[in-house]
Amino acid sequence: MDFANLGLFNQAIILFAALALLTSFLMLAQARMLPLIFTFAWQGFLLATVTVLVAIVTGHSDLYVSALLTFALKVIVIPWLLYRLSVRLEMQYNAEEIAHPSLLLIAGVVLVIFSYFVAKSIINLSGLATRNIIAVSIAIELLGMLLMCVRKSAVAQVIGFMSMESGIFFAASVSAYGMPLIVELGVAFDILVASILFGVFFFHLRDSFGSLDVGQYNHLSEANETDTPDDRATVPATGGHA
């Protein structure tokens, strides 16, 4: 890959995309709630920046809309919602324990290499910058999934989910110069509704389980049901908090 021959804008695109990938790693290792939310917002900011840069380079004015959507949702609305929720749930200073942090980061590196390997198969299709960006967006998506798998806190899982979504949205806007407007708006609407619903669920989860630690939610596993056949029947059907 001959980066030096690229134009200045293309180099900047790759630089910012790499920084966005770095924020994924930061999130993976960040145990504290508030910095995690802020890192997520930074990632959104970097992705929006790359989208604007691509819009300038390629002259696709649709991409400004994508960048605006990313900025509005991923930098302002969702981080703000999560921040407000974590304050209301009094968990903004919580830090959860991450098991095997170094192993986790190595797994992240493996995923990035895998993403580049996958992106290699589309080598014939497009230029150097696009190819790198596709690899980065696959990596951001997979790292978001990894974050969801290893974290036990529901808030961290939501951040992983949203990070995945950002990665995909980024791939769409940069590699294919933006999806049709109606699709982008639809996707943004769905994400917005999902983030509000997640917020509602935080309260339900806390009311039902007393914490947002997903590891405690095990009423419904197959094994549990065979071990204690009677406790399901005895759970009263409460009609309490609506």
Partner 1 sequence: MTLLEATLLAPLAGGLILAIIGHRPVAGWINIAVGAVTFGASLAMALDVFDHGPQLSPSRMFYIDAFNVYLVVLTAFVGLTTSIFSRPYMRHEVEKGRVTDRRLRLYHSMYQCFLFSMLLALSTNNLGVLWVAMEMATLTTVLLVSLYRTPEAIEAAWKYFILCGVGIAQALFGTVLIYFAAESKLGADRDDTLLWTVLHSSAGGALDPAVITLAFVFLLVGYGTKVGLVPLHNWLPDAHSEGPTPMSAVLSGLLLNVALYALVRVKMLVDASLQTHLAGYLMMGFGLLSFTVAGLFLHRQHDVKRMFSYSSIEHMGLITFGFGLGGPLATYGALLHMTVHSLTKSAIFVTVGHACQLAGTQRIDQIRGLIRTQPAIGWGLLLGVVSIAGFPPFGVFISEFLLLVATMKSWPWLTIPLLIGFGVAFAGLFRHMQKMVFGEPPPGQRPVQANMIPVIIHLVLVLFLGLMIPNFLSRWFEQATLLISGASLL
Instruction: Specify whether the CB–CB gap between 60 and 174 falls below 8 A.
Output: no
Nearer to partner 1, 4 or 220 (CB): 220
- Footprint of partner 1 (CB under 8 A): 60, 118, 121-122, 124-126, 134, 138, 141, 145, 148, 154, 157, 161, 164-165, 168, 171-172, 175-177, 179-183, 186-187, 189-190, 193-194, 197-198, 201, 204-205, 208-209, 214, 217, 219-220, 222, 225-226, 229, 232-233, 235, 237-242
CB of 214 to partner 1, least distance (A): 8
- Residue closer to partner 1 by CB (options 4, 237) is 237
Nearer to partner 1, 93 or 185 (CB): 185
Shortest approach of partner 1 to residue 87 CB, angstroms? 21
Q: Minimum Å distance from CB 137 to partner 1?
A: 8
Closest to partner 1 by CB, 93 or 157:
157
Minimum gap (Å) between residue 232 Cβ and partner 1:
7
**In the complex, minimum distance from the CB of residue 233 to partner 1, in angstroms, rounded to a whole number:** 5
* Closest to partner 1 by CB, 37 or 184: 184
